[in-house]
A and B are shown apart, each in its own frame.
Chain A
Amino acid sequence: MTDLTSIITDIVQTLADPNIWIRLTLASVLLVILILFSLWQKTSLERKIIWSFFRGLVQIVLLGSILLLIFGIEEIWLLYIILLFMCFFAAYTNWRSYPYPKIFTYNFIAITASVMIIMTFAIFSSAIPNFDGIIYQPNESAGSSFGSFVIPVGSMVIFFAMRESGVALERLKSDLLKSKGEIEAALALGATPNRSIRNLLRDSFRASLVPTINRVAVLGIVTIPGLMSGMIIGGASPIEAAVYQIVVFMMLLTAAFFTSIVTNYLFTKQFFTSEDQINLDFYNIISQKKQGKKK
């Protein structure tokens, strides 16, 4: 296990290397172009772009510094706490982008449930005799502790769950607003609320999952995933890395799907009253948010 002093020494040495600064400065030229584009197209995203990159850089540098420590963790309970913290932060980020009532709670429940189920399955699959578990990956610098594969894979699963459930939620919300008349027509014929929005739910799941499914379909031809490349550069056999990548994609898709379903079903509960009518207060709240975003 790597100790703290050697980590700090390492950071200082790395930051003293001028290459790292030249790299950042040159890449920032791209960021300036991006901001100019944003201004030209009046997307109002400039501040968000700058802030996101700055925040992301600080976070990732900090994480990079303690990553080897985390990778060294053997205690499963501690890993669960770290995952829980990541889920919390993911749900919070989604809620900032989609600030609808109760979305933080619902999304947090959804992400946590799906991530915990999938990661527990992954961790405890190593209980099978003569089998290392579906995501076991010995790592030279951190040894072969649980942390070295639970955290990286867990972070990918959480990120996908966050991103895809956000896409599904936004799609569902705009469809609910657009289709008020059709929903009421269905209700007026005696449909239950769930039945009246069945197609909208289906479309929202499709909107979030189809791009990822397509990405899996073009693996190796259009995209060479970072995880697999990293493993091969790190010395793993290409076949092993490929299988590992596919296993991880299966986990990502399942988590994304499950999170989207739970988040969207909970969200739609608010769209209807107990008398199976459209909840006009809620309708007005989510439609105001839409207008607000347009400005």
Chain B
Amino acid sequence: MNTIEKNHELFKVENVIFKVGETKILNQISVVINSNDITGIIGPSGAGKSTFLRLLNKLISPSEGKILFESKDTKGIPSQKIRKEIGLVQQRPFLFNGTVKENLLYGPKIWNINYSDDELIQLLQKVALGEEFLDKQVEGLSGGEQQRVSLARSLANKPRVILLDEPTSSLDINSEEIIETTLKQLNQEGIKIIIVTHSLEQTERLTESLLFLREGKLIEKISTVNFFSKYNIKEIRSFFKEKGEEEEK
């Protein structure tokens, strides 16, 4: 049973091109992402990492090629269903006006998932926020706090897969550590995780396999261990050096 799970194809991306106008943001990407490990997506700014995540969550559709989720073409799966199963935490939090609690319950209200206040507090603890945040207005939160609420909001939907776009980019080291522990725990509980990161250290700590993108192309899919032995540290730093993800057009 376990072996079958291990070999299970989570996403199969086949010859995907994503164009904005005539510009190819992603160019001929073909890759299989397996379940059960935490997959990192790395590459310099403008490599198309965020775009790739948005394709998996069906916020955008490929201009050419197709994406299979658990062997089913995502084109044939209703968008809402995909987005329930595959949560997306964007780099900018984009919280809704109102309290943290209202934000956390936005998804669950759509899907009729009930939460008690205690459960919501537990959810906040997973993202390193205390219970006092529950009734706070989101306008008053710092960037890092907003980012964590955004992660908790996606988790509240109980997704099976979670896509993260630099979820710890505005966090201090302590909070970053708590989030990483949470992500590892979630992964052990069976939630598949794909994470875009700009941090070399985070890549090493968290991920087991990597997709390395550059200028819209998939340079390689490689295990994290092999990646760090294949390239010297100078080369690796150059892959990570540019800070700040490309803005979605």
Binding site for B on A (CB under 8 A): 181-182, 184-192, 195, 199, 273, 275-278, 280
- Interface residues in B97-140 by Cβ distance below 8 A to A read 97, 106-107, 110-111
Q: Which of these binds chain A: B52-60, B204-212, B215-223? A: B52-60
Determine the chain B residues whose CB is within 8 A of the CB of A186 once the complex forms. 96, 106
- Is there contact, CB below 8 Å, between B87 and A192? no
- Is there contact, CB below 8 Å, between A190 and B94? no
Determine the chain A residues whose CB is within 8 A of the CB of B96 once the complex forms. 182, 185-186, 199
Which of B80, B87, B94, B110 is within 8 Å of A184, CB to CB? B94
Q: What are 7 A-B pairs at a CB distance below 8 A?
A: A184-B90, A188-B57, A189-B157, A190-B111, A191-B80, A191-B106, A277-B59
Interface residue total, chain B, C-beta cutoff 8 A: 29
- Is there contact, CB below 8 Å, between B79 and A181? no
- Is there contact, CB below 8 Å, between B153 and A189? yes
- Is there contact, CB below 8 Å, between B83 and A190? yes
Shortest CB–CB separation between residue B158 and chain A, in angstroms?
11
Determine the chain A residues whose CB is within 8 A of the CB of B80 once the complex forms. 190-192, 276
B154 an interface residue at 8 Å Cβ cutoff?
yes
- Is there contact, CB below 8 Å, between B94 and A181? yes
Shortest CB–CB separation between residue B53 and chain A, in angstroms?
10
Pairs of residues from A and B, 10 with the lowest C-beta to C-beta distance, nearest first? A181-B94, A189-B107, A185-B94, A276-B79, A190-B84, A188-B88, A190-B83, A190-B80, A182-B94, A190-B110
Q: Give bound CA distance, A276 to B75, whole Å.
A: 12
Determine the chain B residues whose CB is within 8 A of the CB of A190 once the complex forms. 80-81, 83-84, 107, 110-111, 157
Shortest CB–CB separation between residue B156 and chain A, in angstroms?
9
Determine the chain A residues whose CB is within 8 A of the CB of B84 once the complex forms. 190
- Is there contact, CB below 8 Å, between A275 and B92? no
B20 an interface residue at 8 Å Cβ cutoff?
yes
Determine the chain A residues whose CB is within 8 A of the CB of B61 once the complex forms. 273, 275, 277
Q: Give bound CA distance, A189 to B81, whole Å.
A: 10
Which of A182, A185, A275, A280 is within 8 Å of B79, CB to CB? A275
Shortest Cβ distance from A195 into B: residue: B110
Shortest CB–CB separation between residue B40 and chain A, in angstroms?
20
Binding site for A on B (CB under 8 A): 20, 57-61, 79-81, 83-84, 87-88, 90, 92-97, 106-107, 110-111, 150, 153-154, 157, 249
Q: Give bound CA distance, A278 to B150, whole Å.
A: 20
Shortest CB–CB separation between residue A262 and chain B, in angstroms?
25
Shortest CB–CB separation between residue A196 and chain B, in angstroms?
10
Shortest Cβ distance from A182 into B: residue: B94
Q: Give bound CA distance, A192 to B57, whole Å.
A: 14
Shortest Cβ distance from A272 into B: residue: B79
Determine the chain A residues whose CB is within 8 A of the CB of B88 once the complex forms. 188
- Is there contact, CB below 8 Å, between A184 and B92? no
- Is there contact, CB below 8 Å, between A187 and B94? no
Q: Give bound CA distance, A187 to B110, whole Å.
A: 11
Determine the chain B residues whose CB is within 8 A of the CB of A195 once the complex forms. 110
Determine the chain A residues whose CB is within 8 A of the CB of B92 once the complex forms. 181
Shortest Cβ distance from B81 into A: residue: A190
Given contacts A184-B90, A184-B94, A185-B94, contact A191 B110 (CB under 8 A): yes
- Is there contact, CB below 8 Å, between A184 and B59? yes
Determine the chain B residues whose CB is within 8 A of the CB of A185 once the complex forms. 90, 93-96, 150
Determine the chain B residues whose CB is within 8 A of the CB of A273 once the complex forms. 61
- Is there contact, CB below 8 Å, between B57 and A277? no
- Is there contact, CB below 8 Å, between B111 and A188? no
Determine the chain A residues whose CB is within 8 A of the CB of B249 once the complex forms. 280
Q: Give bound CA distance, A84 to B245, whole Å.
A: 53
Shortest Cβ distance from B156 into A: residue: A189
Determine the chain B residues whose CB is within 8 A of the CB of A276 once the complex forms. 79-80
Q: Give bound CA distance, A292 to B63, whole Å.
A: 29
Shortest Cβ distance from B88 into A: residue: A188
Determine the chain B residues whose CB is within 8 A of the CB of A189 once the complex forms. 83, 87, 106-107, 110, 153-154, 157
Given contacts A182-B96, A280-B20, contact A188 B87 (CB under 8 A): yes
Q: Give bound CA distance, A199 to B98, whole Å.
A: 12
Shortest Cβ distance from A192 into B: residue: B80
Shortest CB–CB separation between residue B15 and chain A, in angstroms?
19
Shortest CB–CB separation between residue A178 and chain B, in angstroms?
12
Shortest Cβ distance from A191 into B: residue: B110
- Is there contact, CB below 8 Å, between B157 and A187? no
Determine the chain A residues whose CB is within 8 A of the CB of B94 once the complex forms. 181-182, 184-185
Shortest Cβ distance from B85 into A: residue: A190
- Is there contact, CB below 8 Å, between B110 and A188? no
Determine the chain A residues whose CB is within 8 A of the CB of B107 once the complex forms. 189-191
